[in-house]
Chains A and B, each alone.
Chain A
Amino acid sequence: MARSATTKRKVINTTAAWIVGLLIFFPILWTILTSFKTEAQAIADPPIFLNFDWTLENYGVVMERSNYMRFLWNSIIIAGGSTILGIIIAVPAAWSMAFVPSKRTKDILLWMLSTKMLPAVGVLYPIYLLFIKLGLLDTRLGLTIVLMLINLPIIVWMLYTYFKEIPGEILEAARMDGASLREEVFYILTPMAIPGIASTLLLNVILAWNEAFWTLNLTAAKAAPLTAFIASYSSPEGLFYAKLSAASTMAIAPILILGWFSQKQLVSGLTFGAVK
């Protein structure tokens, strides 16, 4: 009896998970399918699901018109650079908040998070003017710094949560054995928090890869990443959905593949400390 109830529950859970998964994945699947259609098939009503003449023409047009590799390289540098820089700054910050908290630690954490509540466009002009003054407009360095700052509160929060799960006694023992602060952070704490750091890293690469406000507004021709590549195929006057879908597929493919291969780390990291 108990066994059949468990099996039934498993079936329901699995089905529900598949439905939710497919619902979330459907827009991506539809984009990928549309990228292999002609423009006329892309807008056909009723929509065509699989029964169409598959064509690579859109990819050909996109590759011919745009320098995809330049956009891709910019995305890699900006997303990777901002995440690594963020982690370097956030590890010591999260360490101090987790292991040597002061009276105001909670307030500082909340205040950091509150900066995420301001609509980005509210600070567009100050940041733009600052970028002009510093000569950072349309540079990868400028975007790397901005995206790092934007994601820093999330990085600190995530690392803080993971570090809180690590018993302070272990670090104390290391200190008693004569470990310096640097050794304590790099040789004891960091290796223990690897799953947490890895998932923070992955999540922030994804966030930075998809960021489409600053990457569009602070770039022109040189530092534009894949978000600008997609925007160049969107048009309110003309039906270019198949080409837009091809460009979107090319822009999301690298991050989709990265997510697919690292899903185990991502899930284990995100659920780290969730069940107590």
Chain B
Amino acid sequence: MRLKAHALFMGACAVAALTTAATAETITIATVNNGDMIRMQGYTDDFTAKTGHEVEWVTLEENVLRQRVTTDISTKGGAFDIMTIGMYETPIWGANGWLIPLDDLSAEYDVDDILPAMRNGLSHDGTLYAAPFYGESSMIMYRTDLMEKAGLEMPEAPTWEFIREAAIAMTDRANEINGICLRGKAGWGEGGAFITVTGNSFGARWFDEDWKAQFDQPQWAEALNFYVDLMTEAGPPGYATNGFNENLSLFQQGKCGMWIDATVAASFVTNPNDSTVADKVGFALAPNKDGVDKRANWLWAWALAIPAGTQKADAAKQFIEWATSKEYIELVAEKEGWANVPPGARTSLYDNPEYQKVPFAKMTLDSINAADPTNPTVDPVPYVGIQFVAIPEFAGIATEVSQEFSAVYAGQQSVEEALEKAQALTTDAMEAAGY
């Protein structure tokens, strides 16, 4: 009898082991090299312990990743089971049928907890195609000591006019302090993104409702002239080639009075290990032109999506539910503190009293909530996206336009010449694309 029970038990164990072996899979995930993503890789064991699935990571630089996953998804190559993509790609790829819809996530996952701005930006026709791992907007980071020295006080929601006044007052060329550091580097995701949101805050837009380019309109000339004048008076030398990293480096070394950029930078500039000004940083909403109801802040999310070519959709979905869950946020908070959890994705995070103590938490949420991808500027537009236009042609066009603008920043041509060229090249490209 005892022998029989023993045999039965062993048999049950064998069946259990076989079932696990049959369902346990190895999924390959393509991702970007940034702090939150690398941290997630460190917690993969937790996912494996819960589900039995193994994970292989392919980490690439953002632009390399974008090209790599585009090649794979457009050919249904199936090299990846999960791809880390942004708000620009998600609606386009979703519309193409390249992504598996995330419309059957479990009840515990609580999809309604995802911030509405993020959910809208990662959906096409109301269907969610990618789950946000972390989200960001942009805001002003400024030196509280320099602001005080200049005898000014930063309002919570400043105008461009105030920013200009403060930037000039904070500039101290003898001590290599620039009043303001902003992106000028060519590239649609670099300087292109910044000048687009600046345009929004002056009431400019990329296209009218008939998809006609709008660079010949006065709002663009006003925005671009303002930016160039501001940077000439108070920006660092050579700003035409400065992107996120260059400005981060300048700010951390105490060479910028203000910096308007991604909210994710807040954790870098307040980290005493890397930043010499960690305890002197204040935050404010991105500015607008006096009288214009739109601010110069963008909206972005790094999100996880499942390509239609994968053979392991179920395991991939389990991973996405794990990585973008409330439990994952709690896991990181428990191990590394609340300042290190992935921000900007879930409403419940901002309701958490512990997280509310993080200095940049409120400003990040306010900035994200102030961004409306379907209504990015004053006049109506036919597109979705704030610092981009979610059509496949945009990346190419905006890179060329931003090159023309960077040539202005480098003193190689005038604002009028650049806008004329931008108008012509955008019109040509859109006509060729059949708009």
B410 within 8 A of A: no
Chain B 326-360, CB-CB to A under 8 Å as 1, else 0, gives 00000000000000000000000000000000000
Per-residue interface assignment for chain A, residues 211 to 233, with 1 indicating a CB less than 8 Å from any chain B CB and 0 otherwise:
00000110011101000100111
Task: Give every chain B residue within 8 A of A129 (Cβ-Cβ).
Answer: 75
Query: Is A233's CB under 8 angstroms from B33's CB?
Result: yes
Chain B neighbourhood of A40, CB < 8 A: 252, 273-274, 276
| A239 part of interface (Cβ distance < 8 Å) | yes
B35 at the A interface (CB under 8 A): yes
Residue of A44, A129, A231 with most partner-chain B CB within 10 A: A231
Q: Does chain B have a CB within 8 A of A137?
A: yes
A residues less than 8 Å from B68 (CB atoms): 216-217
Interface digits, A120-136 against B, CB 8 Å rule (1 contact, 0 not)? 00001100110110000
Within 8 Å of chain A (Cβ to Cβ): is B249?
yes
Is A240 located at the chain interface by the 8 A CB criterion? yes
Contacts A236-B63, A239-B248: A220 and B33 contacting too (C-beta < 8 A)?
no
Q: Does A265 contact B (CB under 8 A)?
A: no
Residue of B nearest to A220 (CB): B79
Q: Flag if B62 contacts A137 (CB, 8 Å).
A: no
Give A231 to B60 CA distance when docked, in angstroms. 5
Q: Report the separation of the CA atoms of residues A206 and B147 in the bound assembly, to the nearest whole angstrom.
A: 54
- Give bound CA distance, A236 to B190, whole Å: 9
User: Using a Cβ–Cβ cut-off of 8 Å, how many residues does chain B contribute to the interface with A?
Assistant: 43
The residue from A39, A222, A231, A240 contacting B64, defined by CB atoms under 8 A apart = A231
What residues on A are CB-neighbors of B64 within 8 Å?
A: 216, 231, 234
Q: Which residue of A lies closest to B255 (CB)?
A: A45
Interface hits, B53-87 → A, CB 8 Å? 56-64, 67-68, 71-72, 75-80
Query: Which of A125, A132, A235, A237 is packed against the most chain B CB atoms within 10 Å?
Result: A237
C-alpha gap A238/B268 in the complex (Å): 8
Measured between beta carbons, the chain B residues less than 8 angstroms from A238 are 33-35, 245, 248, 268
Given contacts A233-B33, A237-B62, contact A221 B253 (CB under 8 A): no
Give complex CA distance A65, B245 in Å. Answer: 22
Whether A236 touches B75, Cβ cut-off 8 Å, given contacts A40-B273, A43-B252, A220-B58, is no
Convert A138-167 into 0s and 1s, putting 1 for each residue whose CB lies closer than 8 angstroms to a CB of B: 100000000000000000000000000000
Contact of B244 among A44, A233, A236, A240 (CB under 8 A): A236
Q: What CA separation (Å) do A236 and B61 show in the bound complex?
A: 7
Contact in complex: B243, A228 (CB < 8 Å): no
- Can you list the 6 inter-chain pairs with the closest CB atoms, starting with the nearest? A232-B59, A221-B56, A234-B61, A220-B79, A235-B33, A43-B249
Closest A residue to B76 using CB positions = A132
Residues of B within 8 A of A239 (CB): 245, 248-249, 252, 268, 274
Q: Closest A-chain residue to B265, C-beta based?
A: A237
Contact residues in B for A45 (Cβ distance below 8 Å): 249, 253, 255
- Inter-chain CA distance A131–B64, complex, in Å, is 20
Docked Cα-Cα span, A138 to B81, in Å, equals 14
CB of B264 within 8 A of chain A? yes
Tell me the bound Cα distance from A80 to B264 in angstroms: 43
Instruction: Judge whether B274 and A231 touch: CB under 8 Å.
Output: no
User: Which chain A residues border B243 with CB–CB below 8 Å?
Assistant: 236
**Residues of B close to A125: CB separation below 8 A:** 71, 75
